[in-house]
Amino acid sequence: MIIILLLVFGAGAIFFGVTSVLKNSTPYEFAIEQASNNIIVIESLGEPIEAYGIMQGKISLNNDSGKVDIKAPIKGPKGEGSVTVKGEKIENKWIYEELYVLIKETNERINLLDKVLEGI
């Protein structure tokens, strides 16, 4: 019985550790920030927009390079959706290939990457 409990707690600790790493990553924080500040997303979901639930995907880091492909659920007072970010870290700089919100109720895809590129 003790071994089973240790395995369950160990698996839980690993899960929350990995989730914490993903949620503290630059791409995740950037994606949530872009979604929260996008007027079309705000019109669809309302304010405030917040992350909730369990994200899916992966992030790999190796010194000043890496890859990200994550999808995180978001919600506001008017609805729910998810934000997806895919990209690559080259020479310590993230380059995003995809960054968008998918509104759950309407299946509308809101591209956030266009606004990011406008700011460059």
Q: What Rg value do the Cα atoms of the chain yield, rounded?
A: 16
- The pLDDT tens digits for 15-58 are 444 444 445 689 999 999 999 999 999 999 999 999 999 999 99
Rounded mean pLDDT, 108-120: 75
For residue 43, give Cα distances in angstroms to 30, 81, 111. 20, 13, 14
Q: Domains of the chain, with CATH numbers?
A: 2-118 (3.10.450.320)
User: What digits encode the pLDDT tens for the residues 51-91?
Assistant: 999 999 999 999 899 999 999 999 999 999 999 999 999 99
Residues 6 or more apart in contact with residue 71 via CB below 8 angstroms: 55, 56, 57, 82, 83, 84
Calculate mean pLDDT across residues 93-104.
97
- For residue 114, name the pLDDT band (cuts at 50, 70, 90): confident
